[in-house]
Structure 1
Amino acid sequence: MITDFKEIEHSALELDKKRRAELAKRLIKSLDEEIDSDIEQSWIDEVTRRKEEIKSGKVSPLLGEEVHKEARKILKK
């Protein structure tokens, strides 16, 4: 079994694009297995709150293009 990080990295980078993508997906999934239920619930609550603000008309959603354009303006200042 390969145990040295550099050997693993080298072997992984020699894989074709499809297999590298699959390996990356599995590695990322392995990091996400321990989900903090408090954090997960906080995100659900935040999404629900934002959805209600949009439905009520309190806020209006913006297109991603508009947000990026405005952000670029701010960053150029």
Structure 2
Amino acid sequence: MASDINSLTDMEKLYLVDVILRDLDRPDPEIDSIWADEARKRWNAYKSGKIQSVSYRDVMSKYKR
């Protein structure tokens, strides 16, 4: 299989990568449900004052070094 891929043009390789990524990126209802529950919990905690938000600027300054 690797030798077949090596014989492809760059555009054909990009197409192949795109097809593979689209196949792997299918929605998973169980994971979507888990994330939705987590988002609701975080939003409720934020609204009730149990957690605080961090500004975009603070987050970006932490990782821009």
Normalised TM-score (structure 2): 0.58
The share of aligned pairs that are identical, in percent, is: 22
**Bigger relative contact order (CA 8 A; separation at least 6):** 2
Aligned to 2:52: 60
Structure 1 residue runs of 4+, over 6 Å off? none
* RMSD over equivalenced CA pairs, Å: 3.2
Gaps of 5+ in 1: 15-19, 73-77
Gaps of 5+ in 2: none
Equivalent in 32, 47, 56 of residue 25 of structure 2: 32
How many residues align structurally? 61
Distance 1:13 1:28, change over 3 A: same
Normalised TM-score (structure 1): 0.51
Note the alpha carbon deviations across 1:11-57, whole angstroms, 9 max, x for none: 3279xxxxx6xx74x5432211252x322211111111111111112
